[in-house]
Structure 1
């Protein structure tokens, strides 16, 4: 509990209208304090459509380019990067690990920056640096040069997914967050399709010493550079300052998400919320899900090598990679839709997707090498493993309240993501090719453990909800006021949902399952 909030509670018996500093409140409290707003479903739906129209296209375009840029390394494996940049298979694997090691090192500083600075502007700066680093790949002719480029990509990515998680929780209700997270995350699949087609085109570019993998870096880098400029001018920082909403619509946008009991944003770092995050069991459940499930995300960089190992040539492998993207789009859409409309079904939807992925990985391991089409289809089945992580990302935002706690939780989860991704490339050894039996066995085990952890998290949250139901209504913060004039003489009541309380401090908070 913050000091100012505690003091309000202690003095509530002596002061008729206890007040607290506006800086200690969520920005939504400062925006809505003293305003009587009746938000009917038609008004809420109109504002949501406006938010969708201005947010979703930019988020989807950026996430598509971010994933495309990140996986250019994997695509370049069959476009000549190893001989062109004078690196071997082990160095190629280490480039994937380096990306996530730097992501890991800078993840919490990036999340702190997202709390202190305007979210949209900070992401724009990182996208710009990201684009420049990607363009520099084309000039690299050694492991050291690629090392530096991948390091900058890793640093900058630390602002993208956490930033999107924060923005999604700012603008959307908990019911809407799974679908919206799914919309921008399924752009990973779109990126695979687009990147596959671009890579196929680069194989037909004949420019002497300039190789296809270098053209791939140049083309994707220029597109990302343009996206960074669009983001700077058109992406909002929060509902309270969104340029495309009128003052009245900003209030409606904030009132609309009151049901989340999680507020919108607070620019002041709170030590008590930081400590609470680190002592909250669900934080570490999400951490281990992110870490273990993303040990298998190395499939993104290895997929071209895997498919080529089934017996397909470079052109066939490049075009077949487009199907990977289509499969990913379908499975993410189906899983997040299921998680949204299946009552309390987030963990169940994710577990079902893991079961399908495990089946695919087992079949890849047991089918004979002569059935290359069968192996390809089983590989595509295993791609369903990506969907549960998307559901988990939305779930983290929906069950975490308090801005510092939310930012810290996002950082912990993304650190787990980086740990898993950093470890992932190391088990794809040259000696296991072409069938990669040991790597596929590791994939199966990781997906099974991740599925169990999802179900354990659901059980923990369900028990916490049952405990709170027995406690009844918590009236501790029902009557808190904010000073609305310079002398502090006039005070207006603040809704409990906008006090920047954490999910543990607010005993009326219920976890979605």
Structure 2
């Protein structure tokens, strides 16, 4: 009898994976290529053709993140109140069109406006998908799915240089290499947008690829997972409650410190590797592939293990410790030890990428009620993205980048300490709630405005550690 009950649930999760993950992962691969190809465009003659100074080019890199900060939160509000499939498709079409339009810019003004608009259109996609996946998966299943999704960003890093190398072989009689790059890498996003609108379902209640029985099982198991904190309705009071919750600001700090180290390594990895030996630009680009492949593998293993043991904090701490060792190696190993330093570069790349889906799963697991989760996700990612701008500034002391690696080390260390402190607080809160009497529970529900507003603050809700 137990087998008959469990089998449909297992089949449903597999069906969800096959329906949701391939298209979402592919879209994110395209998004990451479209945002990062400006670095390859630089090697393809962008600076010379547009007469850009180094300072102007750096502003074109940084302005992208201002778009994220502006539009992350509003995008998730729209995502919650409209059809997710249409909204994600619209974002995809928009950023793909802007990426292709960048091939036509003539000066610094045109390029920086396009980069700002690209950031605005891409801003809603990552937090939107984080929220979207939480609608479909139980908290114990969520981390591994986010890992699948996020790992395609490292694949974009691995393949970006290889794709750019192939595009560089296209004749430049009509268009420059950087123009071909923007057009060819932007076009797939435009084409995939239509598929996303038609193919992605919006909610378990309306999913046509599930039978009526499967829909009921899916809805039931999600309700059971969230318990008393499960709620799908919208209210501005519920939305405002996110910004009076200490967890929101704690997770913002965790996110921004991790993103500072991540983006610093991502933006400067070719330069870090280039400073290790006598390699030309093409060889340095090629040597960035193994670190990103390792990051792809490590991210998926970490996500699987985090869900398998239903743990977030200790997994982040373990991954961060590996990264801290890697940064110390880059800081103190003699520059003549090229092999050891390259190994350290691989280790830190894997670490800063692998902890992202776990921290994302952690804050999504601990905000309950779809409104609170959608708003918290958007706000945390929006503020955390400031780390992207910080990361672009910390690697200032080439070729060894001792100062940059020191700052990245400190960011990762600060995140690790905050992880442990937050885990202690959440664990203590779980124990406190277990000891509450029924009368005390009713008072706490009243204190937070009733069942509808309580969300994860409901006394029957247990935080994921």
Contact 2:68–2:124 (Cα < 8 Å) also in 1: no
- The residue aligned with 2:221 is 256
Could you say which residue in structure 1 is the equivalent of 2:97?
132
Q: Could you say which residue in structure 1 is the equivalent of 2:459?
A: 507
- Give the 3-state SS of the residue equivalent to 2:206 in structure 1: coil
The answer to whether the 8 A contact 1:465-1:510 is kept is yes
Distance 1:323 1:167 in 2: 31
Query: What's the counterpart of residue 21 of structure 1?
Result: none
Is the contact made by 1:188 and 1:328 (CA closer than 8 Å) also made in structure 2? Answer: no
Q: CA deviation at 1:378?
A: 1.3
Q: How does 1:289-308 map to 2 (within 5 A)?
A: 289-296=254-261, 297-308=263-274
Partner of 2:446: none
How many angstroms apart in 2 are the aligned matches of 1:512 and 1:359?
27
1:77 and 1:43 map into 2 onto residues whose CA distance is 52
8 Å Cα contact 1:193-1:326 kept in structure 2 = yes
Distance 2:314 2:230 in 1: 28
- What displacement does 1:506 show? 2.3
State how far apart, in whole Å, the 1-side matches of 2:253 and 2:97 are: 33
**Counterparts of 2:455 and 2:392 in 1: how far apart (Å)?**
37
- Residue 24 of structure 1 corresponds to none
**TM-score normalised to structure 1 length:** 0.83
Q: Structure 2 matches for 1:42-53, cutoff 5 A?
A: 42-53=7-18
SS of 2:287's equivalent? helix
Partner of 2:448: none
Q: 2:390 is matched with which residue?
A: 423
Residues 94 and 425, structure 1, Cα contact 8 Å, conserved in 2: no
Contact persistence 2:232–2:370 (CA under 8 A): yes
Asked if 1 retains the 8 angstrom alpha-carbon contact of 2:231 and 2:455, the reply is: no
**Could you tell me how far apart the structure 2 residues matched to 1:353 and 1:83 are?**
41
Are residues 1:406 and 2:358 paired?
Answer: no
Aligned partner of 2:447 in structure 1 is none
Query: Contact 1:111 / 1:411 at 8 angstroms: preserved in 2?
Result: yes
Contact in 2 for aligned 1:399/1:503 (Cα 8 Å): no
Contact 2:291 2:345 in 1 (8 A): no
Residue range with higher mean Cα deviation, 281-290 or 72-81: 72-81
2:296 to 329, 332, 348: 329
Match of 2:415 in 1: 450
Matched, 1:346 2:312: yes
Q: How far apart in 1 are the matches of 2:231 and 2:115?
A: 32
CA contact (8 A) 2:128 2:378 kept: no
Change in CA separation of 1:202 and 1:373 when aligned onto 2, cut-off 3 Å: farther
SS in 1 for 2:169: coil
Separation (CA, whole Å) in 2 of partners of 1:362 and 1:90: 30
Give the C-alpha shift of residue 267 in structure 1: 5.7
Larger Rg: 1
Change (3 A) 1:340 1:377: same
How far apart are residue 370 of structure 1 and its match? Answer: 3.5
1:391 maps to which of 346, 358, 370: 358
1:380 aligns with 2:346: yes
Deviation at 1:290, TM superposition (A): 0.9
The 1:191–1:303 alpha-carbon spacing in structure 2 relative to 1, beyond 3 Å, is same
Gaps of 5+ in 1: 1-37, 478-498
Cα distance in 2 for residues equivalent to 1:373 and 1:142: 42
Distance 1:171 1:436 in 2: 43
Over 6 Å off, 4+ runs: 262-265
In structure 2, what is the equivalent of residue 76 of structure 1? 41
CA contact (8 A) 2:100 2:186 kept: yes
Match of 1:109 among 69, 74, 90: 74
Question: Is the CA contact (8 Å cut-off) linking 1:260 and 1:398 kept in structure 2?
Answer: no
- RMSD value over aligned CA atoms? 2.3
Q: Do the aligned residues in 2 keep the contact of 1:170 with 1:264 (CA within 8 Å)?
A: no
Contact 1:104 1:419 in 2 (8 A): yes
Alpha-carbon shift at residue 471 of structure 1 (Å): 0.9
SS state at 1:171 partner = coil
Aligned positions, number: 451
Inter-CA distance 335–308: structure 2 relative to 1 (3 Å threshold): same
- Residues 187 and 337 of structure 1, relative CA distance in 2, 3 Å threshold: same
Aligned to 1:34: none
Write the distance in 2 (CA, Å) between the matches of 1:271 and 1:337: 36
Contact 1:200 1:318 (C-alpha < 8 Å) held by counterparts: no
Structure with greater helix percent: 2
Does the 8 Å CA contact 1:97/1:423 hold for their aligned counterparts? no
1:102, distance to aligned residue in structure 2 (A): 1.6
Once residues 377 and 91 of structure 1 are traced to their aligned partners in structure 2, the CA distance between those partners, rounded to angstroms, is 33
Report what 1:488 is aligned to. Answer: none
List aligned pairs for 1:354-373, cutoff 5 A. 354-373=320-339
Q: Aligned-pair distance for 1:450? A: 0.9
